[in-house]
Structure 1
Amino acid sequence: MTGEPGTLPDVRLIRRNDTHRLIPSKYSDGGASVLARIAGDDAHLRDIFDLDNAANERLLAENDLLPGIGIHELVFGVPFYRIVNAAFCHAHPLGSRFNGPDRGAWYAAFELATSQAEIAFHKWVELSEVGWLEEELTYDDYRADFSGELHDIRSDDRFADCLAPDSYVASQGLAEELLQAGSLGLVYPSVRRARGTCLACFRPALVMNVRKGPTYVFRWEGRAEPIVFTTT
């Protein structure tokens, strides 16, 4: 059962280097924007970027115009800061496991295989919904280090509902309570890979030493389990 309202998970000091977050390569920091492909000239490109930037949640937040997260929480001047900020500013319209639609979080896995399993599951759901069962996509592995006191629901049966495979109701409710209590984030067992461990960080400043690792190709050939390999 889920913990009673006001009952929060235990807090533990979590120190973990080389966590893995897989991000589609099309969003790679420093990469050429896909918008450049549809612009005929420099003037046209500037107009397109101005239009895109007007609705870009990360840029809105960096100008203190987004209600879910303020400029004082974002990070600047560190490697891949745009990638970090984007995770908190571009929330899914329905939210994710431990965040609502107004504010994102930095999700990462302790193990590369766990991060791959999480990506494979969620992308297959998207592909299945539109009947597109063959696809090839590339993802960049962004590694980060964490050291802080996080809430921990591993081996805590009070919050079993937060790990429901097909519902985020309980987990988003807990996340709201944690944010209101000033939580830095939480660690939890992966729902998509047995014995895997995931982390949801609520504060951009705690995503430390971000660096870009290998790029992985995910190829779906009509099955939920993709073929995964690194690019050369």
Structure 2
Amino acid sequence: MYAPPVRRVQRRGTHRLIPTRMRPGGDSVLARIADDDDHLAELFDLDHATNDRLLAENDLAPGIGVRELVFGIPNYRIINAAFCHPHPLGARFNGPERGAWYAAFELATSQAEVIFHKTVQLAEINRYDDEVSYDDYHADIDAELHDLRDDRRCAPYLKSDNYRASQALAEQLLDAGALGVVYPSVRRDGGTCLACFRPALVTRVRRARTYVFRWDGSPKPKVVIRED
């Protein structure tokens, strides 16, 4: 299988949008359904027993070992969660057992990615009526990444609705020790995305602004800044 060329990528302040409900220290949905403190403790024990990030941090996850995770730095749980909570079907450059840190060079690109996937969900129920808030996490990346930009041979890995080829490529690159990939956004013309395969390369993660995406009968949402 073709392996894209490797180039050094140095980028400060990449953008990754994460639902605000996932914010560390935020209100847990478990607290809303617990009858009392004892019940809440039991629910948290159950949650911890099935939490993929906590399993990985105890070296019990199949896709990533505890030695690859990061600890003791700001927002380390946010970093680890990206690798420990993959989508059941995987994503463009990862399978269902191991995630990756996806980010965009531009805020508009990161927003376009979120809008696309959420709009697909709303289209399935044919109801464009929802409101979701996302925190914009900035991170710095300085790594040798496989570059899929400006290369016609990479077209099979950039399909808009099929991840089979790109997941196979990612598996091959990961097995060979690759650090990640940088590639043109499929959801926004001119945008650039990256998928980092190694938690330790995601540095200086910090939370910036919060954005509210509001669908009000149209597949194109209104995006506004939320003042905390």
Q: TM-score, normalised by structure 1?
A: 0.96
Matched, 1:48 2:77: no
* DSSP 3-state at the match of 1:72: helix
Q: Deviations over 1:24-65 (max 9, x none)?
A: 000012212111111122111110011111111000000000
Question: 1:83-125: CA deviations, max 9, x gaps?
Answer: 1100000000000000000000000000000000000000111
2-structure distance, mates of 1:65, 1:53? 12
Alignment of 1:120-159 (within 5 A): 120-159=115-154
Read off the aligned partner of 2:84 and give its amino acid letter: C
C-alpha displacement of 1:157: 0.9
Query: What is the distance in 2 between the residues matched to 1:201 and 1:224?
Result: 30
Percentage of matched positions with identical amino acids: 65
Which range is displaced more, 217-226 or 179-188?
217-226
| Shift in Å, 1:82 | 0.6
Q: 1:200 aligns with which of 182, 195, 201?
A: 195
Matched, 1:96 2:91: yes
Contact 1:162–1:168 (Cα < 8 Å) also in 2: yes
Q: What is residue 79 of structure 1 aligned with on the other side?
A: 74
State yes or no: 1:184 paired with 2:179. yes
Q: Which residue of 2 aligns with 1:38?
A: 33
Aligned residues: 227
Which whole-Å CA distance do the structure 2 matches of 1:227 and 1:20 have between them? Answer: 19
Deviation of residue 130 (structure 1)?
2.7
Q: TM-score of the superposition, structure 2-length normalised?
A: 0.98
Q: Counterpart amino acid of 1:47?
A: E
- CA RMSD of the aligned region, Å? 0.8
Q: 1:231 corresponds to which letter in structure 2?
A: R
The answer to whether residue 100 in structure 2 is matched with residue 105 in structure 1 is yes
Task: Quote the residue 2:226 is aligned against.
Answer: 231
- Any conservation in 2 of the 1:75–1:85 contact (CA below 8 Å)? yes
Structure 2: which amino acid aligns with 1:26? R
Query: Aligned residue for 2:109?
Result: 114
Q: Is the 8 A contact 1:121 1:224 kept in 2?
A: no
Q: Aligned letter for 1:22? A: L
- Are 1:60 and 2:55 an aligned pair? yes
User: 3-state SS of the aligned residue for 2:153?
Assistant: helix
Query: Partners in 1 of 2:52 and 2:124 — Cα distance?
Result: 26
- Deviation of 1:223 (Å): 2.1
Long gaps (5+) in structure 2: none
Q: Quick one: distance in 2 between partners of 1:137 and 1:189?
A: 26
SS of 2:161 mapped into structure 1: coil
Q: Which residue of 2 aligns with 1:26?
A: 21
**Alpha-carbon separation, structure 2, partners of 1:203 and 1:74:** 8
Query: SS at 1:49's partner residue?
Result: helix
Runs of 5+ unmatched residues, structure 1 = none
Moved over 2 A (4+): none
